[in-house]
Amino acid sequence: MIVRDEARCIARCIESVRPHVDTMIVLDTGSVDDTIAIAERCGAEVHRFTWCDDFSVARNAALDHSDADWNLVLDADDWLAGGFEALGPETLPPASVSPARFVGCVSIVNQGVGEGGAARRFVPRVLPRGVRYAGRVHEQPVSALPQQPIGVELHHDGYAEDQLARKDGRNEALLRAELADHPGDAYLWHQLGRELLVRGRSAEAADPLLQACRLAAPGAVFRHSAVVSALRALKQADRLPEALALADEEQVRWSGSPDFYFAVADVYLECASREPARAMDDFLPVVEGAWKRCIDIGEQPALEGSVPGCGSWLAAGNLAMLYRTLGIDDEADEYELLAGTMRKAA
């Protein structure tokens, strides 16, 4: 880990991984709270580093202290929540047994407010020996090895309101500096858009997210998140014609995404509220069909940026509210019951 002033949560992170790793290495970048003392008390090996406004440099400095065949990279506001067995030698064999054949991706569930709510992210965090990072912010490991999900699940609460306030401006400044050097990098545009969106700056987030959609390769892992986030940003920024156009353009690519159809329903519902004369004929039938499509698709936890519930209880609950508003009480009762059943099963 690289950390700074993480006394709030560092013990939670360390204790969650202690039974599953050999060594815990913490690189402190200038804490003035009890972070270092807590980390040492929890059994971590702590090193000090002078912050230089470059996350990849700090990540690499932390990795330089490790001689392990595999490195699990965490933030202090992460904690290991599942998939512990994937950290064993069956998934991550020692170099003496087999050379590394992949970079391991973990699932991160973001808990907190903001864009996407408790959105799932898939990030490369289990690195073979020798793999290093590049990028000032939202840094990525550089390797010719393929990235492969391994079943590890982390939870993260860095998007909670108080945590966002602590980091206000930092990531945005670093992202803009990185984009000045790499203006064609779709991933950086995506991260800038998400950064602005989670801070409630939808009007500013929309264009970076649209740029990410334009530049991202069709198979880019983050493209699903970029499209869904762009739809949300355009709706919140009152750019409804552009949101409708994006939904039409992207529909063929996301037939298996409940999150896409959930976002489409939100856009059309907003259109209905703005043009009530057209609501019953033009907009609400699309809203109804989109939420039903979410349920038909079901939960898709392997999609980057997916939100639990979009393929089940959230969509069913919204259908119940729609039917209740329209006075169709039997359908409302049915979907209320379905939403409750799905929520309990989640």
Q: What is the pLDDT of residue 161?
A: 63
d(CA 301, CA 292): 18
Question: In percent, how much of the chain has pLDDT > 70?
Answer: 95
Q: What is the 3-state secondary structure (H, E, C) of 283-342?
A: HHHHHHHHHHHHHHHCCCCCCCCCCCCCCCHHHHHHHHHHHHHCCCHHHHHHHHHHHHHH
> Would you say 150 and 101 are in contact if contact means Cβ atoms under 8 Å apart?
no
Q: Average per-residue pLDDT in the chain?
A: 94
Tens of pLDDT, residue by residue over 295-335, are 999 999 888 889 999 999 999 999 999 999 999 999 999 99
d(CA 226, CA 145): 24
142-147 average pLDDT score: 96
Residue 166 has pLDDT above 90, yes or no: no
Tens of pLDDT, residue by residue over 48-76, are 999 999 999 999 999 999 999 999 999 99
Question: In percent, how much of the chain has pLDDT > 90?
Answer: 86
Tens of pLDDT, residue by residue over 219-260, are 898 999 999 999 999 999 999 999 999 999 999 999 999 999
Q: What is the pLDDT of residue 111?
A: 74
